[in-house]
Amino acid sequence: MDSRPKLNILFSRDEIEAAVRRLATEIGRDYHDRFPLLIGILRGSFVFMADLIRQLDFPLEVDFIGAASYGCSTRSSGQVKLSHRLQSEVRGREVLLVEDIVDTGLTTACLLDYLRRKKPASLKLCALTDKPSRRKVPITIDYLGFTVPDRFLVGYGLDLGQKFRNLPDICALEEA
Ligand code: IMP
Ligand code: MG
């Protein structure tokens, strides 16, 4: 019996490549002479990050941060539960946070707060996908790939129970 979920391609690898190129052009215009620090949110952003930085032809640094899911309930106390810590100094840097998908916005809001407290020179957000219908907290996305419907997505780094990150296309789970 086949218990694999049915997947429909929402954005093909070619469409993703075009979107990543467009984002790189926008980011390059703003950051080419600023030696930015790109910070990817683990684990979902690693595929996007790998493609994005290879379209950026100026000096930059890359780091990753992991937030335990919804570990932001202690936000007001300034504590974020991190599953992976930054290795880089953020103070005074031009920071671009790189996310795979902004859904409720809680993870992103939490990490933006966390980074802002470290006093970067600037802090902006790049997200490959945005699911605005599910938003619980307002988020400004400075560089956005795709707006997506309220469907569960996998592929290109996005997972379902840690699976499907390796799919080259972004797929939506078929609704039952
Ligand atoms: P948030 O709800 O905006 O905090 O999103 C938190 C995280 O949930 C994202 O960074 C993703 O890793 C994950 N997530 C949200 N929607 C999806 C989806 O459709 N597919 C896979 N992961 C998702
Ligand atoms: Mg994520």
pLDDT of residue 119: 98
CB atoms < 10 A from the CB of 57, how many? Answer: 10
28 Cα–ligand 2 center, Å: 23
Q: How far apart are CA 160 and CA 174, in angstroms?
A: 13
Q: Give the model's confidence band at 78: pLDDT under 50 very low, under 70 low, under 90 confident, else very high.
A: very low
Domain boundaries, the chain: 14-150
Question: Is this model's pTM higher than 0.85 or not?
Answer: yes
Residue 103 appears among annotated catalytic residues: yes
Say which CATH class 14-150 falls into: alpha beta
pLDDT of residue 72: 55
The β-bridge partners of 39 are: 63, 97
Q: Alpha helix locations (H) across the chain?
A: 13-31, 46-53, 106-116
Dihedral angle of Cα 166, 168, 173, 174, to the nearest 10 degrees: -140
74 Cα–ligand 2 center, Å: 19
pLDDT at 132 over 70: yes
